[in-house]
A and B are shown apart, each in its own frame.
Chain A
Amino acid sequence: MYQFDYHRPTSLDEAAQILSQDDEASLLAGGQTLLPTMKQRLAAPSQLVDLSGIAELKGVREDSGQIIVGAMTPHDTVANDKTVQAKIPGLAHLAGEIGDPQVRNRGTIGGSLANNDPASDYPGAVLGLGATVRTNKREIPADDFFLGLFETALDEGELIKEVAFPVPKKSAYAKFHNPASRYAIVGAFVASTEQGVRVAITGAGPCVFRVPEMEQALNSNWSADAIKDIKVAADDFNTDLHASADYRAHLVTVMAKRAVQAAG
């Protein structure tokens, strides 16, 4: 690690202010990506702005029929929250599949979404449920939030405050994990909502994406069989030691089917 200054503000405004005065400053949420990167000397922020002291960013609540998850809520809290388990079991299940117990007790939803790692799990749920990302400046619908590889709609100095999840009729997440890192090689989140079916795939490509063909098929017939022959193109998919692009493309169909089955 290189040397840095450390701050632990107690309000969002204070955090935003420190951030606005230094281009080299970095927000610290759960630190599950940033800290290992700093330890390997691949990142060298001048200041770390630790968000763990801001009480309003933590916790899960129900509000106007939506489930609101604070940006600094650890995965383990979401996985074990009784309301989430009852209202959106697919989301609780997804949170419980992230990393390992240590990661789930440190890592946060806000950190995960802001980083937008192509293999992370949460983007699947946020896009798959059509959630809304609320920041210190505005509300961003999931369909507009994820822009590309490690790229989001967040502006410079913009902080995620919380995420609002509409409650679906049913939903589920099926994950094919990377055996080494436990990230998603392919993660399929399916949801049947008032506005129709949503299918979001994470891990396979450079950024989470929806599969309209599957959504249409499931809108008319909610069953695994309805999508068994729908293939996605492997063109821009990731290839690495653990899975080639065409294997991932194959797994998209397999995992989407399993998610539909799991949702019931």
Chain B
Amino acid sequence: MPDTGAQRVLRKEDNRFLTGRGRYTDDFNRQGQAYGVFVRSEMAHAKIKSVDTSQAEQAPGVVAVFTGKDMEADGVGSLPCGWTVTDRHGNPHKAPPHWPLARDKVRYVGDQVAFVIAETDAQARDAAELVAVDYEPLDAVVETGKALNGPQVHEEAPDNLCFDWEIGDKQATDDAFAKADHVSKVELVNNRLVPNAIEPRAAIGEYDPGGDEYTLYSTSQNPHLLRLILCAFVLNLPEHKVRVVAPDVGGGFGSKIYCYAEETTCVWASKKLDGRPVKWVATRTEAFQADAHGRDHITTAEMALDKDGKFLGMRVDTIANLGAYLSNFSTAVPTYLYGTLLAGQYKTPAIHGNVKAVFTNTAPVDAYRGAGRPEATYVVERLVERCARDLNIDPAEIRRRNFVQPDEFPYQTPVALTYDSGQYELALDEALKMIDYRNFAQRRQESERRGKLRGIGFSAYIEACGIAPSQVVGALGAGVGLWESAQVRFNATGSISVFTGSHSHGQGHETTFAQMVADKFGTDYNNVDIVHGDTGRIPMGMGTYGSRSLAVGGSAILRACDKVVEKGKKIAAHMLEASVDDIEFDQGTFRVAGTDKQKSIGEIAFAAYVPHDFPQDVEPGLDETAFYDPANFTYPSGVHIAEVEIDPDTGETQIADWVAVDDFGRVINPMIVEGQVHGGIAQGVGQALLENTVYDPDSGQLVTGSYQDYTMPRADDLPSFRVGMTETPCPHNPVGAKGCGEAGAIAAPAALMNAITDALGTEDIQMPATREKVWRVAQQRLAPAAE
């Protein structure tokens, strides 16, 4: 276990970000570059009778106009979904094709119909308006709850059902309910969210006819995976001839994991234009319409309890809206990343979950910060709170009675996962202390004196991070392994270049990884450079999502560091004229055990590149690569408690206090970790109070298509979060880290909605708890008193 020092050093990357010197995809301009604009469907569902591009082709500056027919003629494949879900009857999920440019039908507002390329962006936009698409409108279905009976989106999927999946033991669960003293039930909507990364997606596709090589500059969280999908599935290109560069990327939250139509089309179009680079930069409107959305579940959940409030069994039925097409991970999110988390932190002995995933005429839904785990936590924690209220047991106490205890790990849940470690009660106790739970009743009275309604809400969450152990996910149906690579290279002058497959788009890897490596070699973190985001520079890697970077990518880096030390020992043994077995390494110094004979790693590195007298069995160079495949998921957990004060006159919810006590295992830079927690909670608060993606139920138009209508959380919507931590190191990875990127977004919605429903005295309100909704409920509640 390395001594990481846990230092709050400032982020190295912020210098360039804060001075406007970051380099994002749109900052790159290639020689001879042309500009592409997509013609998008204005209809939610329609047959394409014809696409007339003749006028657009004649417009000033137009280079080319492509349609789905052109791609079809070229044999371009479908954008794939990489995870197979097997339904209750043993059949694979329905996988209708998703063409980069629509061929016969459009299936949501924003679906790509044609690609117009011109000398300038303005000319491309002007010409795009001249593409005449003749549609035959079809009835559309956009609502999750109506999809199973709605107009059919794909011929391949009767009743719009992609799959009907289950997890857990239904019989055992039914038996538990049969013997229960009490059953609690909740009906929940998990609202659809637009990811809203600050940098919209962008791409430059560039084909070099000289070497038959392709380069894609793209806003990607995982350039290697993007290359793999492009080559193996969609464009059928030789992988060694394709380079994907993901430079500075302004946020992703999952939405930049995927191989999208637009990036794909830019690469293909550059080849069609014999090597002319083609750039596309999404407008914010396109980001709303065509970035993969998140969440969108409807769920009924029930808990069977005995008279003491012990959980006996849990039953969950969910309809998950996947949108019009399957995105790369979309089938995994409401299944392997959702159903497997339904045990929460509790020893519920029997659980059965059923998920019906449906197609609708809406943007594709895929992983968004938390991906399935926020949905699971929301179900479990709203239900547990409901149980406490129904049985009149203190919400902290009912959790305590059902927690998995520290001596029960590894703990096999009834829904596939094996939890490795955790101290759930420790976090709860700390959170209760921080929020001064004992005096809540007094604070509530004080609020009431001012005419306000005060409530408190808990969320004890668990997540499966460190995505992912290849063997486990392979058994679950993943089309890929989810290990990570790292290369650690000492340069001759002693500085260190670290090449990692973990992409950084806001997480601060360039600092955290550098701290970890510097600590290992006893050097300053400014001597360590983290290189990522370019398939031409780094070994094959899997990218950044699922809170995996430190737990998986960091572990790969430590493994590579270990290899460097082993190699260094050989060189040191030679230089110090000792046996390799006698060389010890600590904090950058190789020493012959029990002597004062030593060499610094800087001296070793220099010698490695000037090996004038090396013996035959010692290779020059100090440059090692490691691949790390985790043995298990990691299981960050924690307790968040939110306290709210509601103004019944207006329905405004003020977050009076928020404490978060998280267990992320080993922490390298607490400042960065706290920033991740703050950001995650802000997104969770956004979901619970403000954000909602609304499609018109009749026309299928996206109503919340801009910041005028889609409500992002702002600084003045948020309190000062109070963050505490417990530290139970992950027992199975060399860093001991569990991952922190998604926790806030996972924990927050349940905590906030539990607080709001506590204040209002009713469960009858769904996210987002907007001011008007809260006001209406508050008026109903206060009405008898007013009369």
Contacts and interface: CB of A to CB of B under 8 A. Distances in A.
A181 B708 contact: yes
B650 A180 contact: no
Interface in B686-712: 690, 694, 703-704, 707-712
Interface residues of A, number: 18
A181 B707 contact: yes
A241 interface: yes
A251 B408 CA distance: 54
A241 B704 contact: yes
Nearest to A179: B711
Interface string A241-256: 1111001001100100
A176 B649 CA distance: 12
Interface string A87-113: 000000000000000000000000000
A41 B709 CA distance: 19
B649 A180 contact: no
Nearest to B125: A41
Interface stretch (B82-90, B555-563, B770-778): B770-778
A2 interface: yes
Q: Which of B649, B712, B776 has the most chain A CB atoms closer than 10 A to its own CB?
A: B649
Given A2-B126, A180-B707, A241-B694, A247 B772 contact: yes
A40 interface: yes
A1 interface: yes
Contact of B122 (A1, A40, A180, A243): A1
A241 B703 contact: yes
Contacts of A243: 771-772
Contact of A241 (B126, B709, B776): B709
A41 B690 CA distance: 28
A176 B772 contact: no
A12 to B, nearest CB: 32
B285 A40 contact: yes
SS class, residues of chain B in contact with chain A: loop
B772 A180 contact: no
A41 to B, nearest CB: 8
A242 B649 contact: no
Interface in B285-326: 285
B446 interface: no
B711 A180 contact: yes
B717 A251 contact: no
B61 to A, nearest CB: 12
Contacts of B772: 242-244, 247
B707 A179 contact: no
Contacts of B711: 179-180, 242
B707 A176 contact: no
B709 A180 contact: yes
A40 B126 CA distance: 12
Contacts of A241: 694, 703-704, 709
Nearest to A182: B714
A40 B711 CA distance: 19
A40 B284 CA distance: 10
B717 A180 contact: no
A247 B773 CA distance: 10
A254 B650 contact: yes
Q: Which of A176, A242, A243, A247 has the most chain B CB atoms closer than 10 A to its own CB?
A: A247
A40 B283 CA distance: 10
A201 to B, nearest CB: 15
Nearest to A2: B126
Nearest to A181: B708
Nearest to A253: B649
A181 to B, nearest CB: 5
Q: Which of B285, B690, B710, B772 has the most chain A CB atoms closer than 10 A to its own CB?
A: B772
A176 B717 contact: no
Contact of B717 (A2, A179, A240, A244): A179
Contacts of B126: 2
Nearest to A244: B772
B285 A180 contact: no
Interface in B510-558: none
Given A181-B709, A241-B704, 14 more contacts: A41-B125, A176-B650, A180-B708, A180-B709, A180-B712, A181-B707, A181-B708, A241-B703, A241-B709, A242-B709, A242-B772, A247-B772, A250-B775, A251-B650
24 contacts: A2-B126, A41-B129, A179-B711, A179-B770, A179-B771, A180-B690, A180-B708, A180-B710, A180-B711, A181-B707, A240-B709, A241-B703, A241-B704, A242-B709, A242-B711, A242-B770, A242-B772, A244-B772, A247-B772, A247-B775, A247-B776, A250-B775, A251-B650, A254-B650
The 5 closest A-B pairs by CB, nearest first: A180-B711, A181-B708, A179-B711, A247-B772, A254-B649
Interface of A: 1-3, 40-41, 176, 179-181, 240-244, 247, 250-251, 254
